[in-house]
Amino acid sequence: MNEWSLIEQLKQGDEAAFRKIVESSQGLVYNTALGIVQNPEDAEDVSQEVFVQLYESIHSFKGESKLSTWLYRITISKAMDHLRKKKRKKRFAFVQSIFGPNEELVHDPPDFVHPGISLDNKEKAAELFKAISQLPEKQNIAFTLNRIEGLNYQEISLIMKLTVASVESLLHRARKNLRKTLEAYYLENGR
């Protein structure tokens, strides 16, 4: 059964078609989410949100791109939303830890440790993902789609709704920024 007939069946409310679409695209969705949120549980949550949105908004899918392109867009959007929510919660918790619940200043605030400080030599991959997460949003997305998902510039341009030249530029700047961040890390830590 081809993709378009599955989409048409799903538009008619066919749950078997939905299951087939989920089975065939769950790897794409999960891996893309994991590349952005960098936490397996969060990636699972994002994946569920993506498939809920797929089911609820399949009627808005016009078929102007492949279903996978549409799913990449939804996944990136949901993953970035997830990161923004998580950052807001962390900031709020940090402020609460300094001021306490009644807005009084706590005299002995907890130590604030930057995540890059506590890494040991075995965590090079974690340091790379940390550096990727510090990239500006569009560079992060382009780099993740290219290097982690293995998509070419044309595919990324369709997903991000940018020209191929813009994607090339984003990837060039992402590599340059990553090089700077990682060189600084290795110089600072004597590695």
DSSP 31-94: HHHHHHH--HHHHHHHHHHHHHHHHHHGGG--SSS-HHHHHHHHHHHHHHHHHHHHHHHHHHHH
- Give me the domains of the chain, ranges plus CATH numbers: 1-107 (1.10.1740.10), 113-191 (1.10.10.10)
Question: pLDDT digits over 70-93, tens only?
Answer: 999 999 999 999 988 887 666 555
Spatial distance between the Cα atoms of 17 and 39, rounded to a whole number of angstroms: 29
Question: pLDDT digits over 82-128, tens only?
Answer: 988 887 666 555 444 444 455 444 434 333 333 333 344 345 667 77
On average, the pLDDT of the chain sits at: 81
The pLDDT value given to residue 90: 62
The pLDDT value given to residue 28: 93
pTM: 0.65
